[in-house]
Structure 1
Amino acid sequence: MQTSMYVHHEKIFICNLATNLRGAYGDFTRVVKQLYNVHTNQWFLHWENCQKDGAKAARQFYRRPYFISNSLDLTGSNWVLMSSDFRGRVYKKIDPSETLMMLYQIRGFNHIRLSPRDACRDNCPELLTTLNEGEILVVENLLWIMEYIPGEEGDNLGIISEVSWPSME
């Protein structure tokens, strides 16, 4: 992914940054610069593009799936999940603001855990899967909590698009 588009674009605002890279807590520019260091290995990184400019930049890496109605709004925030040879055991939680999200697995794979929220707890089992390159997972956030562990081998890239339902006004 072209991370340089974030380093050189000062208007882009990210939030919910999480990484295992040391010394970079909350400083996205420092994190991205560490990724260019040849000695940086076994890392994960995810963030939310909270501002429209950042979300628009990330949308160049995916298209609206054919099965998603044009009446749904995909222009809100999105998340980027990146890793390289990371061997994690703890799931990383994604906390979206919209009611529906789509995870596009662009490269590599991610291990996914969907845990039922209170509304579904008595009727829904926990679901575990691996999302492979080229696959899309659609999650209804009122029923499920989504967490992931980055794939252990090679480079991984996933993008989550938050989807808004049309306004009934």
Structure 2
Amino acid sequence: MTEKEVDIEESFRKLQFKLKKFKLSTKQLSEVKSLHLLDGPNVITSSFFRIFSKRYLFIASAIATVLVAVAIGVWKSEWPISNKALADFYFDEWWDVDIDSELCAIEMPDVVYEVTRPPTDCTICHGVTNIDKVNKITADIFEQKYAYTGRPVVILNATDNWTAPGVFNFQFFKELYNEDSPALENFEDNCQFFPYKTNFHNLSDVFKMSSEEAYMKGSNSKPWYIGWSNCDAAAANILREHYQKPYFLPGVSESSKTDWIFMGVPGYGAPIHIDNVGNPSWQAQITGEKKWIFEPPPECYLECARRFEVIVNPGEIIVADTNVWFHGTEVLGNEISIVIGSEFD
């Protein structure tokens, strides 16, 4: 309170005291409007309210400024969902927006998913002592034994009718994703990229390598292994000219529209991890050979063997539910490993 406010308050206190000396009743005093408003507690409350109001206004302004800044940041960075999806949702077109499929700008660390995932049904590894390798399997037997049981399997000679083995190489993908390609631009907006232990930030960085560097023949060559998902329709059409739906998948099953490609040089691969995707998946080894390592989730350690390994050679397809098996890979031999795959329902 200012000095003037203190003087006014004191004057009215004296006036109130004098009126009480004339033996005015409480009711009569309460009818004196000026005394009622300026009675001690009310004066204090009123003064406090004025001070609080000023502070509250400052705090409210600060909060509003922060919220506006956050809103601008969200819109500019398009996180956690794209502006188009946000606008569609806002304007009541939410039925066309799959919020769950929108990619986050910041990927959750693996440890976060690991501690929050639901426990696995350990029947996936009951009686499993090795990864089966089978040849000429029918769709019915595949469905019964492997498709939805969670048990990994390698299908031999599974790409015999594909042209991919004679077409897919580093140069093919470099041309498919050249700097002016709509496929590459679409990738940067919508698809996922896994740099693993490399210094690449995106797919464009990968294809800045020369063929000599990619095949480890240049003086500045560094070992590399990467993966990405292609969700560009034009690129998908080109890729699918060279491979078909695996013959052994059940007739009612459909592969995802998203292709997954993994590529890298011997000695490198993906570390042990668990995926967070929708369905089991198949991965076809187009060139090179790769060792897969499988480990059951911790809750199944007492019921299952601790570790399985299998080598997948060119022309073979491995099928696994990577949502329940911890898994890692290592490229073997002397050739670049190229793998293409997809989820299936």
- Helix, strand or coil for the counterpart of 2:186? coil
Paired position in structure 2 for 1:31: 206
Over 3 Å counting, the alpha-carbon distance change for 1:31 and 1:117 in structure 2 is same
Paired position in structure 1 for 2:176: 5
Over 3 Å counting, the alpha-carbon distance change for 1:5 and 1:65 in structure 2 is same
Higher relative contact order (CA 8 A, sep 6+): 1
Over 3 Å counting, the alpha-carbon distance change for 1:124 and 1:162 in structure 2 is same
| Deviation by residue 1:66-97 (Cα, 9 ceiling, x = unmatched) | 2101311213323211123x323873647251
* Aligned with residue 228 of structure 2, among 47, 54, 71: 47
Whether contact under 8 Å (1:62, 1:104) holds in the other structure is: no
In 1: Cα distance, 2:244 partner to 2:337 partner: 18
| Structure 1 gap segments, 5+ residues each | none
- Residues 96-111 of structure 1 aligned to structure 2 (within 5 Å): 97-111=277-291
Paired position in structure 1 for 2:329: 148
- Residues 17-166 of structure 1 aligned to structure 2 (within 5 Å): 17-22=194-199, 24=200, 26-36=201-211, 38=213, 39=218, 40=221, 42-49=223-230, 51-53=231-233, 54-84=235-265, 86-88=266-268, 91=271, 93=273, 95=275, 97-117=277-297, 120-125=300-305, 126-163=307-344, 165=345
**More displaced stretch, 4-13 vs 148-157:** 4-13
**More displaced stretch, 89-98 vs 131-140:** 89-98
Tell me which amino acid in the other structure corresponds to 1:76.
K
| Deviation by residue 1:104-154 (Cα, 9 ceiling, x = unmatched) | 011110110112135644333221111111111110234323321122412
Whether contact under 8 Å (2:259, 2:341) holds in the other structure is: yes
- Helix, strand or coil for the counterpart of 2:209? helix
Whether contact under 8 Å (2:275, 2:323) holds in the other structure is: no
Structure number having the greater strand percentage:
1
In 2: Cα distance, 1:147 partner to 1:69 partner: 27
Number of residue-to-residue matches in the alignment: 160
Over 3 Å counting, the alpha-carbon distance change for 1:36 and 1:127 in structure 2 is same
| TM, length-normalised to structure 2 | 0.41
In 1: Cα distance, 2:264 partner to 2:194 partner: 13
Structure number having the greater helix percentage:
2
Q: Give the C-alpha shift of residue 35 in structure 1.
A: 4.4
Tell me which amino acid in the other structure corresponds to 1:5.
L
The structure whose Rg is larger is 2
Paired position in structure 1 for 2:68: none
| Structure 2 gap segments, 5+ residues each | 1-167
Quote the RMSD (CA, aligned, Å): 2.7
- Helix, strand or coil for the counterpart of 2:176? helix
Over 3 Å counting, the alpha-carbon distance change for 1:117 and 1:77 in structure 2 is farther
Over 3 Å counting, the alpha-carbon distance change for 1:147 and 1:59 in structure 2 is farther
Over 3 Å counting, the alpha-carbon distance change for 1:116 and 1:161 in structure 2 is same
- Helix, strand or coil for the counterpart of 1:150? strand
- Helix, strand or coil for the counterpart of 1:11? helix
Paired position in structure 2 for 1:16: 193
Whether contact under 8 Å (1:55, 1:75) holds in the other structure is: no
**More displaced stretch, 97-106 vs 12-21:** 12-21
- State, as a whole percentage, how many aligned pairs show the same letter: 20
Over 3 Å counting, the alpha-carbon distance change for 1:117 and 1:66 in structure 2 is same
